[in-house]
């Protein structure tokens, strides 16, 4: 144990250098000089007998051995910080919890849950990052990612939180002007506003005559943003298909009218992704427990 403690300055210098992307930035963060940081990392490499970082005049990058070593050491240092926090706080989870989620899921679902969570755990501070791109949880310091869809990443632990539902809907003003379709086949005569995925509009399927059938719909607007489609539908432009959590308030106050609810396929699953299940931090643990209960009771996902 003593030898590990003696290496702590070297380990901290290494992790901070990786996360800061330079010895200079690491030195500023740790209150020392770039040369001191460089010497600590070099001493660690000499001790291990492997090169952990590739150095250029402008940047640092991890070697293959360095990447594997960084993931384990960063986790150990994080757990040490969390152990300190847990003792200082008297066993109550506290500190920063960094969450990544998509724009739509963050704006229309997660932000509704967070006020209640923070009321229950006032010692936790949320760092919420909204992005539709896939993030690297380790490299970007993400504690947990909340995502739509069954993401198959073998390096991450997944926890199922719920199942969304597709909702086909339109504003009363559109239905008054253009008529209400009586069967899914009638949608070919309507202005259908579709979601773009990888540049292509998603097809619309319906349960018809005991089988799933695709209706060849089209319209004047396609978008890769659910908010744009909802606002267009609210303005009376056409009929759109979104996920339940995106339109629940508008359905409840009848700004949007649901169509063919019993003939739509299930929506996307909601998953929590994190890097490891053993020694999971108290902040992540209570957040996952809270979110599982919240998803079940909110009605936003099934």
Angle, helices 2-20 vs 64-88, to 10°: value is 110
Band (pLDDT 50/70/90 cuts) for residue 2 is: very low
Same domain, 206 and 253: yes
With 90 as the cut, is the pLDDT of residue 245 above it?
no
With 60 as the cut, is the pLDDT of residue 216 above it?
yes
Same domain, 39 and 180: no
Q: What is the mean pLDDT of residues 27-37?
A: 86
Q: How far is CA 245 from CA 218, 249, 295, in A?
A: 24, 8, 11
Q: For the chain, what is the mean pLDDT?
A: 85
pLDDT of residue 94: 79
With 50 as the cut, is the pLDDT of residue 1 above it?
no
Which of 25, 54, 88 is a domain's end point? 88
Q: What pLDDT digit, counting tens, does each position of 86-127 carry?
A: 665 555 777 889 999 988 888 888 888 899 999 999 989 999
Same domain, 110 and 224: yes
Distance of CA 253 to the CA centre of its chain: 29
Q: How far is CA 265 from CA 181, 199, 234, 262, in A?
A: 18, 22, 23, 9
pLDDT of residue 193: 97
Same domain, 291 and 249: yes
| Domain carrying residue 8 | 2-88
pLDDT of residue 268: 85
Report the percentage of the chain scoring pLDDT > 70. Answer: 88
Same domain, 210 and 263: yes
């Amino acid at each position: 144990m003593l030898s590990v403690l003696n290496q702590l300055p070297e380990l901290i210098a290494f992790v901070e250098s990786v996360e800061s992307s330079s010895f200079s930035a690491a030195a500023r963060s740790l209150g020392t000089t770039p040369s001191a940081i460089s010497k600590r990392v070099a001493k660690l490499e000499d001790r291990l007998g492997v090169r952990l970082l590739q150095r250029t005049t402008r940047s640092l990058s991890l070697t293959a051995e360095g990447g594997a070593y960084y993931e384990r050491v960063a986790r150990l240092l994080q757990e040490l910080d969390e152990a300190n926090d847990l003792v200082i706080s008297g066993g109550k989870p506290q500190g920063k919890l960094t969450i990544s989620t998509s724009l739509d899921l963050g704006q229309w679902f997660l932000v509704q849950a967070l006020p209640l969570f923070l009321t229950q755990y006032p010692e936790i501070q949320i760092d919420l990052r909204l992005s539709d791109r896939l993030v690297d949880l380790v490299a970007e310091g993400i504690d947990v990612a909340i995502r739509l869809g069954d993401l198959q990443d073998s390096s991450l632990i997944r926890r199922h939180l719920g199942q969304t539902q597709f909702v086909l809907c339109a504003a009363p003003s559109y239905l008054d002007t253009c008529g209400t379709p009586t069967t899914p086949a009638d949608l070919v005569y309507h202005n259908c506003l579709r979601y773009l995925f990888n540049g292509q509009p998603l097809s619309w399927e319906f349960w018809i005559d005991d089988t799933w059938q695709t209706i060849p719909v089209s319209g004047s607007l396609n978008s890769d943003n659910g908010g744009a489609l909802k606002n267009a539908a609210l303005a009376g432009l056409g009929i759109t298909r979104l996920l339940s959590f995106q339109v629940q308030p508008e359905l409840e106050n009848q700004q949007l009218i649901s169509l063919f609810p019993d003939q739509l396929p299930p929506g996307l699953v909601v998953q929590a992704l994190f890097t490891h299940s053993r020694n999971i931090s108290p902040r992540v643990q209570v957040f996952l427990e809270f979110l599982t209960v919240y998803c079940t009771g909110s009605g936003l996902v099934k």
